Chain A
Amino acid sequence: MKPILEVRDLRVSFDTHEGEIQAVRGVSFDLHEGETLAIVGESGSGKTVTVQSLLGLIPRPPGRIQGGSIRYRGREIAGLSERELDQIRGAEIGYVFQDPMTSLNPTMTIGRQIGEVLLKHRKMSRERAFRQVIHLLRSVGISNPAQRIRQYPHQFSGGMRQRVMIAMALAASPRVLIADEPTTALDVTIQAQILDLLKSLKEQRGMSMILITHDLGVVAEVADRVIVMYGGKVVESGDVEDVFKRCRHPYTRGLLSSIPRMDRMEEELETIPGNPPDLLAPPKGCPFVERCPYAMKICNEWMPDVTVRSEIHQLSCWLEHPMAPPVKEAVGGGISR
């Protein structure tokens, strides 16, 4: 089946006083119908910029899409005008922002904010829109929706605001939902509520979902496939199960062994020494080279093409080259041959 979204070699930069920050440096991925794809990475890895540029949401200037292609249901949408993008934003692809505290309009009632989407995309009458908003709020688990639509964002708790954001993103029945760190600002018991809600809404509506997160636990819980980003590039991707169990890239390995787990007692956590690369002057080769315990000379020079390990698991690492020297015992006993 053809993917609903195909991204190829996406490159995005920002112009700053200090120079050009190459935030996204050649990212490619597919989103298939009905799946949940997680994009994981740390701050500055380019995960948010990647999905925001899909919908033309990065401010231009200073942002610039330097190249690449974004196909939505076979149609090229990179470089569309704002008006054309308006037909896609919300109606085809919904977006849930990270911070529910700041992304709602504090001067407008919840009902009007969600209603706006319906009036714009669905050309509904005010009365029908009103009823539809009540229905939407109920479907995201907000009780007393008829009263609550007259209230303002500050009268909602953090978890409830995120529900409002989700209702708004779903108002025009999009086929794809992008959720950018939807639970990062929330407490863990509220996070569990929201993840549960997203999972069931996705099933009910048969949507595809892109979930951005830095929490590998959330990935394991929600996603079918995962993309690991580092320094503006994809370093590893594939089926969640395969990537977690047989992760090969030293960065993914390091990340997985540097987080403590609730189901284990660890004596000492592994750490990844150093800091992420400076994207003002990105490394020529692999972005992880400076922190990688297995770095070779070639890694400084260029990053290998995607090494296909299998249909369901890809990565970019010279260690995968058939002629690469064997890696002996590795961090956490992982990469051994």
Chain B
Amino acid sequence: MTATAEKILEVKNLKKYFYAGRNQVIKAVDDVTFDVYKGETLGLVGESGCGKSTIGRTLIRLYEATSGSVIFKNKNVHQLKGQELKKFNREMQMIFQDPYASLNPRMTVGDIIAEGLDIHGLATGKARRERVVELLKTVGLGEEHIDRFPHEFSGGQRQRIGIARALAVEPDFIIADEPISALDVSIQAQVVNLMKRLQREKGLTYLFIAHDLSMVKYISDRVGVMYLGQLVELADSEELYEHSLHPYTEALLSAVPIPDPDKEKRRERIILKGDVPSPLNPPSGCRFRTRCPKAMDICAKVVPTWQEVRPQHWVACHLYEEGAKAE
């Protein structure tokens, strides 16, 4: 992605805290800053509880932000009201993780897909049905499916229905939250290839949230890595996978097994000790320091700065801050 590309979304110092009883604050997303360019796929990876889904949900206003701003097409999403909010709801759509839980079991597939058309008054009567059929065909289903119910479909087909529903209102930006994790291996590629094709045809921008690093690499132009509520690294996907800087990214990449016995034999694996600490009480300074094989004294005291250390390659780590190595 070149620096001249148009920014469609700017996220600045975004925080989302949840209050879990007396004096207990879960800092699910804590000071995250990144941009998304028009027409690209930005992948967001990290382990469970790192805040990647919370980011997605806060961007689309399923959650209100605790602080920080989300600027979509030069407007602050969290201040939109009335007609502007309605327009935003068309422009940004979401595909959910669980194709079994995210479709209303009492609605027909046709009504599920057309719900957005109805709400926004985009089509009625014959035109509505034609539009739904067209959407079904776009995602590889057919007219015969229109009056059926979700339980009659397999996981992969349901995810196609979820995609058709998102496309119905002609969005520019789609947040896909683990859209393939619940699917079988041979079905995952079908769904991802469908998403890629739709992106080419419709010029869509994706935020693709997943924990499967190899799939994220395949679909994304750029990838951001999260740990315990914060972004630790963000770069072009090839750059990130070839020249990762942050010790967490390195460990994460080395932990993914490669389906090639020869390579597996030769590979050096970085095995991290322990578990991810609780977001209720995250470590001081750099949050990764308790598991970091390269931790230094400064890491416990000072929060590392989120900075661009190479063109388009962002990282938050004391190893790459000026003078840090001298300590």
A71 to chain B, nearest CB (A): 29
Q: Which chain A residue shows the least CB distance to B216? A: A260
Contact between chains at B256 and A43 (CB < 8 Å)? no
* Complex partner residue of B256 from A157, A193, A262, CB under 8 angstroms: A262
A39 to chain B, nearest CB (A): 14
Q: List 21 A-B contacts (CB under 8 A).
A: A43-B184, A157-B275, A187-B47, A187-B276, A190-B275, A192-B255, A192-B271, A193-B272, A217-B256, A220-B261, A220-B264, A244-B261, A258-B185, A258-B188, A259-B188, A259-B189, A260-B217, A262-B214, A265-B238, A269-B193, A275-B156
* Complex partner residue of A255 from B47, B157, B185, B258, CB under 8 angstroms: B185
A147 to chain B, nearest CB (A): 16
Contact between chains at B261 and A241 (CB < 8 Å)? yes
A21 at the interface (CB under 8 A from B): no
Query: 1/0 contact trace for A128-151 toward B, CB 8 Å?
Result: 000000000000000000000000
* Complex partner residue of A188 from B256, B259, B260, B264, CB under 8 angstroms: B256
Contact between chains at A42 and B47 (CB < 8 Å)? no
* Complex partner residue of B269 from A42, A192, A262, A268, CB under 8 angstroms: A192
Interface size on A, residues (CB 8 A): 45
Contact between chains at B218 and A269 (CB < 8 Å)? yes
B residues within 8 A CB of A42?
Answer: 184-186
Contact between chains at A189 and B186 (CB < 8 Å)? no
Contact between chains at A189 and B257 (CB < 8 Å)? no
Most buried by A among B241, B251, B256, B257: B257
A215 at the interface (CB under 8 A from B): yes
A254 to chain B, nearest CB (A): 7
Known: A189-B251, A255-B185. 15 other contacts (CB 8 A): A157-B275, A187-B211, A188-B256, A189-B252, A192-B271, A196-B269, A220-B264, A221-B264, A259-B214, A261-B214, A268-B193, A268-B196, A275-B156, A275-B187, A276-B184
B residues within 8 A CB of A189?
Answer: 47, 251-252, 255, 271-272
B8 at the interface (CB under 8 A from A): no
A272 at the interface (CB under 8 A from B): yes
Q: How far is the CA of A237 from the CA of B217 in the complex (A)?
A: 30
Q: How far is the CA of A53 from the CA of B129 in the complex (A)?
A: 49
A240 at the interface (CB under 8 A from B): yes
Indicate whether A215 sits within 8 Å of B257 (C-beta atoms), given known contacts A189-B252, A220-B264, A258-B185. Answer: yes
What's the count of A-B pairs with C-beta under 8 Å?
122
- In the A-B complex, the 6 residue pairs with the smallest Cβ-Cβ separation, listed nearest first, are A217-B257, A260-B218, A187-B47, A216-B259, A258-B189, A192-B255
B248 to chain A, nearest CB (A): 9
B residues within 8 A CB of A88?
Answer: none
Query: 1/0 contact trace for B138-160 toward A, CB 8 Å?
Result: 00000000000000001011000
Interface of B, helix, strand, loop or mixed by DSSP: helix
A160 at the interface (CB under 8 A from B): yes
A residues within 8 A CB of B187?
Answer: 275
A residues within 8 A CB of B262?
Answer: 241, 245
A interface, CB within 8 angstroms of B:
42-43, 157, 159-160, 187-193, 195-196, 214-221, 240-241, 244-245, 254-256, 258-263, 265-266, 268-273, 275-276
A residues within 8 A CB of B185?
Answer: 42, 214, 216, 255, 258-259
Q: How far is the CA of A218 from the CA of B259 in the complex (A)?
A: 7
Q: Which chain B residue shows the least CB distance to A156? A: B275
B192 at the interface (CB under 8 A from A): yes
* Complex partner residue of A219 from B211, B259, B272, B276, CB under 8 angstroms: B259
A198 to chain B, nearest CB (A): 13
B293 to chain A, nearest CB (A): 12
A residues within 8 A CB of B188?
Answer: 258-259
A143 to chain B, nearest CB (A): 9
B41 to chain A, nearest CB (A): 13
A216 to chain B, nearest CB (A): 4
B48 at the interface (CB under 8 A from A): yes
B residues within 8 A CB of A160?
Answer: 275
B298 at the interface (CB under 8 A from A): no
Q: How far is the CA of A196 from the CA of B185 in the complex (A)?
A: 24
B residues within 8 A CB of A218?
Answer: 257
B190 at the interface (CB under 8 A from A): yes
Contact between chains at A266 and B261 (CB < 8 Å)? no
Q: Which chain A residue shows the least CB distance to B248? A: A189
Contact between chains at A262 and B253 (CB < 8 Å)? yes
B325 at the interface (CB under 8 A from A): no
Contact between chains at A188 and B193 (CB < 8 Å)? no
Q: How far is the CA of A72 from the CA of B254 in the complex (A)?
A: 38
Q: Which chain A residue shows the least CB distance to B267? A: A221
Contact between chains at B259 and A220 (CB < 8 Å)? yes
Q: How far is the CA of A245 from the CA of B253 in the complex (A)?
A: 23
A228 to chain B, nearest CB (A): 12
Indicate whether A263 sits within 8 Å of B258 (C-beta atoms), given known contacts A188-B211, A254-B186. Answer: yes
Q: How far is the CA of A276 from the CA of B275 in the complex (A)?
A: 37
B215 at the interface (CB under 8 A from A): yes
Q: How far is the CA of A263 from the CA of B156 in the complex (A)?
A: 26
B213 at the interface (CB under 8 A from A): yes
Q: How far is the CA of A179 from the CA of B215 in the complex (A)?
A: 25
B residues within 8 A CB of A270?
Answer: 189
Q: Which chain A residue shows the least CB distance to B275? A: A157
Q: Which chain A residue shows the least CB distance to B50? A: A187
Contact between chains at B275 and A159 (CB < 8 Å)? yes
A193 to chain B, nearest CB (A): 6
Q: How far is the CA of A275 from the CA of B154 in the complex (A)?
A: 8
A residues within 8 A CB of B263?
Answer: 220, 263
B215 to chain A, nearest CB (A): 6
Q: How far is the CA of A324 from the CA of B275 in the complex (A)?
A: 54
Query: 1/0 contact trace for B215-244 toward A, CB 8 Å?
Result: 101100000000000000000001001000
